[in-house]
Amino acid sequence: MKNILSIQSHVVFGHAGNGAAEFPMRRLGVNVWPLNTVQFSNHTQYRQWKGSVMPATHLVDIADGIADIDELKRCDAVLSGYMGSPEQGNAIIEIVKKVKKVSPNAIYFCDPVMGHPEKGCFVAPGVAEFLCNVALPMSDMMAPNLLELEELNGKQRINNVDEAILACRELCKRGPKVILVKHLSRAGYQNDRFEMLLVTKNEAWHIHRPLVDFGVRQPVGVGDMTSGLFLANQLLGKSLVESFEHTTSAVYAVMLETLQRDEYELQLVAAQDEIAKPTQWFSAKRID
Ligand SMILES: Nc1ncnc2c1ncn2[C@@H]1O[C@H](COP(=O)(O)OP(=O)(O)O)[C@@H](O)[C@H]1O
Ligand SMILES: Cc1ncc(COP(=O)(O)O)c(C=O)c1O
Ligand SMILES: [Mg+2]
């Protein structure tokens, strides 16, 4: 059994951060050790929430506790997502180093959540800089959306798929071996499809799925679920392309279930069999 130390936000009501990634990863058949960076009542796109950001020392403490019972060596991957502060980022990097020391093959998968102020997703000052300067060179895999990719690549605007591939290759030169662009949005080929890219030094793959029409109230946590599913697939020994295709297909099934139930929060439990074995399969196309 593979073990993922998943360091992300936790919401008590609904699904974002660990609350969006943990169950789908477990449903695929990997162990998850959730380490929560914040505990909020609900995700921040409700525009009001209660709760606390964990002190950075708490994160390292928990990892040290696992090391003290001599179990940190069984960690196969660290996954990081929404960070409550740049200090938490430094703590996460310290944890990654501790894990890699006792588990040299462990991978660090960084989902560089930077938020969308215009969408109501707020990230503390300094987190974006931390992700660009510190987390990027330490990570083995990264999963930015388009805005995050632009930010990581020196704030240069990306207008199309070719430019997105080039930007990913620039990131590959600085650390990560695999870049999953989990939402191409306006840089994609078509504006009536949901598109993603998978880029390594030598390959680039493109995939698309239909847009599901939620109107203005788009579900949150989709990025977190996407990163979690991709990493879980990788740890299960799937190829990059199969991981990419399964992730797209499973996320689409959850989106459909959510729309059919007329819900705002992702319907992870209702769609669990579809997460494991999606009925509709989307295939990736090699474009480079
Ligand atoms: N098939 C789909 N149809 C419509 N909207 C989708 C689909 N898949 C994902 N989305 C939405 O697209 C957005 C992706 O958001 P984005 O900010 O680019 O990535 P992230 O989820 O990491 O923040 C989310 O609001 C999500 O609800
Ligand atoms: C607490 C929390 N975690 C994580 C996220 C990221 O969610 P997404 O996967 O949609 O980027 C959000 C977005 O608002 C959030 O409020
Ligand atoms: Mg996101």
Q: Which domains does the chain have, with CATH numbers?
A: 3-286 (3.40.1190.20)
Give this prediction's pTM. Answer: 0.97
Tell whether 182 is in a known binding site.
yes
Separation of alpha carbons 131 and 163, rounded Å? 21
User: Using the 8-state DSSP alphabet, how is residue 125 labeled?
Assistant: T
**Closest ligand 1 atom, CA of 146?**
18
Q: What would the two tokens of residue 3 be?
A: 């073990």
Lowest mean pLDDT among 72-76, 92-96, 116-120, 268-272: 116-120
3-state SS, residue 154:
coil
Residue position matching structure tokens 């030094």: 201
Tell which atom from ligand 2 comes closest to the C-alpha of 222: 9
Q: Is the ipTM of this complex over 0.90?
A: yes
CA–centroid distance, residue 92 to ligand 2 (Å): 18
What spatial distance separates the first Cα and last Cα of the chain, rounded to whole Å? 34
pLDDT per position as a tens digit, 144-200: 999 999 999 999 999 999 999 999 999 999 999 999 999 999 999 999 999 999 999
Query: b vs e for 185-194, b when ≥16 Cβ sit within 10 Å of the residue's Cβ?
Result: eebbeeeeeb
